[in-house]
Amino acid sequence: MTTAADFSPDGYRRLIGSFLDTGYEVRNFDDVEQEKPHLILRHDVDQSLQAAVQLAKLEANIGVSSTYFVLLRTEMYNPLSRDGMDAMRAIRACGHRIGLHFDASLYDDDRDIFEAAAERECAILETALEEAVGDISFHRPVRSLLGLPGRFAGRLHVYDPVFYSDMAYCSDSRGGWGHGHPCDHAAFDAHKAMQLLTHPVWWVTPDADPVEKIGTVLDARLERLHRELRDNCEPWSNATRIDPAETRAEIPGRIRR
């Protein structure tokens, strides 16, 4: 049984240490071998780039590298903003890769449309990063993309059978191990390759349940929006100077009264 303590910075160190201590090597999607003790570390950044930076630094301290898949179109964060670009640069500075986290639900359900859209999104990300983006993951993938063989938009994708159905796969979706704990997987005992999907938001806040962790993300997002308004909108800046200790959530209601 996993606990909140398992989904924490120390818990992540223990998890990766369990693989390294048994002889696993961390590899990327383009150099993994299925029959060898290779571990692919994949991170889908669904909610917070700041959480991704925290995990990227933790991994750098452990001495492993991974791929962080970033959403280009999301209401949760803006990767092309100043904060977003700083976060992606920080992830790269830790020795990790950036991939595209593609949300197919934003487009008509058609393979050609999906690939053209993913190509456009990759091009935008490549222009921002000034480097190639070679890997794609799918955000809440539609059925037609699961198990799709070969390349997608000219790039490797994480649900190719080579990395998905033909290889051990474990995910921490919803803040738990829906496919069973990675160290309990038969592939772990057999020292065979595994794709390990984790979401940074579940790992960087200790002693909290999943709902509390999402609440922390929302609080941080609200604070960033407040800071932006304070610096660029005089009415808001004047209003929020009335009581600096007042919480951000209370300010809009007081102003309306």
One domain for residues 34 and 125: yes
Per the structure, the count of domains in the chain is 2
Q: List Cα–Cα distances, 78 to 42, 85, 171, in angstroms.
A: 20, 9, 25
Q: In CATH, what number is assigned to the domain containing residue 194?
A: 3.20.20
**1: in domain:** no
What pLDDT shows up at residue 142?
A: 86
Instruction: Give buried/exposed letters for 87-118 (b at 16+ CB in 10 A, else e).
Output: bbebbeebebbbbbbbbbeeeeeeeeebbebb
Q: pTM here? A: 0.91
* DSSP per-residue letters across 71-111: ESS-SS--TTSHHHHHHHHHHHHTT-EEEEEE-GGGS-S-H
One domain for residues 123 and 142: yes
One domain for residues 73 and 27: yes
What pLDDT shows up at residue 257?
A: 40
- Mean pLDDT, residues 81-94: 97
One domain for residues 86 and 138: yes
What pLDDT shows up at residue 1?
A: 46
One domain for residues 106 and 169: yes
The string of pLDDT tens digits covering residues 25-42 is 999 999 999 999 999 999
The answer to whether the CB of 166 falls within 8 A of the CB of 192 is: no
Share of the chain above pLDDT 90, in %: 77
What pLDDT shows up at residue 236?
A: 85
Query: Could you tell me the residue range of the domain that residue 46 belongs to?
Result: 9-202
The string of pLDDT tens digits covering residues 131-175 is 999 999 999 888 889 889 999 999 999 999 999 999 999 999 899
One domain for residues 175 and 137: yes
Biggest distance spanned by C-alpha atoms of the chain: 66
Rg (CA), the chain: 20
